[in-house]
Structure 1
Amino acid sequence: MTDDLPPGRSAGDAEPPGGPRPADLAPDAPAPAVRRGGRRRDQAVALGWLVAIWVLLWGDLSWGNLLAGLVIGAAVLLFFPLPPVTFGGRLRPGALLVLAVTFAGELVTASLHVAAVALRPGFRPRGAIIAVPLRVRTDLNLALTAEVISLVPGTLIVDVDRDRGVLYAHVLDVRRPEDLADSRERILAVERRIVRAVGSPAEVRRLSPEPVDRRNQP
């Protein structure tokens, strides 16, 4: 199933006063300059996450694992530097709580559904790959949405089109066309909760409902 491409600005649209906003820039546009202090802060946050992942992989919180995680994390950041990703959003505690609670609920219900499918005798579930264009095409939003979707059983991100902002997801147990539409809407709902939790005001405004296509109306 193929979805429409993400809505883009046409060539005749006028730019807003003061030039285009950072959230409206194309994904391949050059990233804004990152100050040295902000770069060091981002590296410190990345190192903290790498250490946490290292400890979780070993399953043992000890001084030795912490020290090894620091060394491995520092080596990864030194020899495999990633392009700077600036965070221009705003943390909203209420929306973060909604995101966490909703994710926990979906994790439980999806796990029960996958278990029921696996234990059903003689049943062969049908899968499908759908293309879901996101409304906010930043690298951070693409990564966060893909991670949250992949953590829920029954759905897996198989490919990402960074230039067009499209996620390709494999969904399990597809019985009718409506299931594909429901899966697409669920992924867009995850994106909506993430943007409302950590997105900038300009990104939140881009979540407004799209106008109804009159060509599909009788």
Structure 2
Amino acid sequence: MIARIVSGLVPFLGLVLIWVLIWGQVTWLALVTGVALALIVSATFYLPAVRLSGRINLWFGLLFVLRLLGDIVVASLQIAWIALAPGYRPSNAVIAVPLRTRSDLVMTFTAEAVSLVPGSIVLDIDRETSTLYLHALNVKSVDEIPELKRKVLDTERRLIRAAGSADDLARLSSGRTAAAEEGAP
């Protein structure tokens, strides 16, 4: 019963947070109207329950955030160089990256983290096969694709170590993807 309440509370609080962020200030009026709108949206529309792993490792969470900030700075400098370099010829790629997690939350956070780093954006997430499809900037050859996939999987690994489930941690240590574990091609 408590787990059910908590799993419904996550999207509810997310809606309130989004409302407060839209207004750009934390006031009693913004909080009260955010709660009222979250109640209306929750009663009107189906919000899927978010399954939490029940574990958070603060050390790995801090490492995730620090690495994400570093990746954003480095990628921003690379994109600035591409924009300023004379004679740039666009060479992009769309790649599929099979993830190891089955958690919607970890998949979403991985997609958000990858999209925050300049130079790539997630186009789609296939929940059935736990696959991210992303567009990557400045891919000159097919030989660069494994490195791009490794970077996405490193981001997912850091998230799983910070807040992933026991199943995700087991898949992480075995090196298997979620789809391969379930027998999908």
TM over 0.5: yes
Q: CA, structure 1 residues 121+67, in 2 after alignment: closer, same or farther (shift >3 Å)?
A: farther
Determine if the alignment matches structure 1 residue 118 to structure 2 residue 86: no
Q: Which runs of 5+ in 1 are unaligned?
A: 1-34, 212-218
Question: Aligned equivalents of 1:196 and 1:61: distance in 2?
Answer: 32
Determine if the alignment matches structure 1 residue 147 to structure 2 residue 109: no
Structure 1 residue runs of 4 or more that deviate by more than 3 Å after TM superposition = none
**In the alignment, what sits opposite 1:180?**
145
> Which of 1 and 2 has greater Rg?
1
Q: Is the 8 A contact 2:60 2:161 kept in 1?
A: yes
Letter of the 2:158 counterpart: R
CA shift, 1:193, in A, is: 0.5
Determine if the alignment matches structure 1 residue 100 to structure 2 residue 65: yes
TM-score (norm 1): 0.74
TM-score (norm 2): 0.86
**In the alignment, what sits opposite 1:66?**
31
Letter of the 2:146 counterpart: A
Q: CA, structure 1 residues 209+179, in 2 after alignment: closer, same or farther (shift >3 Å)?
A: farther
Q: CA, structure 1 residues 44+202, in 2 after alignment: closer, same or farther (shift >3 Å)?
A: closer
Q: Which runs of 5+ in 2 are unaligned?
A: 177-185
Q: Spell out, residue by residue over 1:6-56, the C-alpha distance to the aligned partner (whole angstroms, 9 max, x if none).
A: xxxxxxxxxxxxxxxxxxxxxxxxxxxxx2x22222333322222222222
Q: CA, structure 1 residues 89+62, in 2 after alignment: closer, same or farther (shift >3 Å)?
A: closer
CA shift, 1:210, in A, is: 4.1
Q: Is the 8 A contact 2:121 2:134 kept in 1?
A: yes
Q: Is the 8 A contact 1:89 1:201 kept in 2?
A: no
User: Percent of aligned pairs with the same residue?
Assistant: 40
Q: May I ask how many residue pairs the two structures share in their alignment?
A: 176
Question: Aligned equivalents of 2:147 and 2:48: distance in 1?
Answer: 35
Give matches, 1:29-48, under 5 Å: 35=1, 37-48=2-13
Q: CA, structure 1 residues 92+119, in 2 after alignment: closer, same or farther (shift >3 Å)?
A: same
Question: Aligned equivalents of 2:86 and 2:141: distance in 1?
Answer: 21
Q: Is the 8 A contact 2:120 2:135 kept in 1?
A: yes
Question: Aligned equivalents of 2:38 and 2:86: distance in 1?
Answer: 46
Letter of the 2:29 counterpart: G
> In proportion to residue count, which structure has more helix?
2
Q: Spell out, residue by residue over 1:125-158, the C-alpha distance to the aligned partner (whole angstroms, 9 max, x if none).
A: 3111000001122322222211111121111110
**In the alignment, what sits opposite 2:122?**
157
CA shift, 1:182, in A, is: 1.1
